Amino acid sequence: MERKTMTVKEMAAYLGVHLDTVYKMARLNEIPHFRIRRRILFSKDTIDAWMENQEKQSN
Count up the domains in the chain and report the number.
1
Amino acid of residue 21: T
pLDDT of residue 2: 84
Residue 59, pLDDT > 90, answer: no
pLDDT, tens digit, 9 for 90 and up, residues 7-51: 999 999 999 999 999 999 999 999 999 999 999 999 999 999 999
pLDDT of residue 37: 96
Residue 12 in contact with residue 22, Cβ under 8 Å? yes
Residue 18 in contact with residue 4, Cβ under 8 Å? no
pLDDT of residue 22: 98
Q: Which domain holds residue 51?
A: 5-58
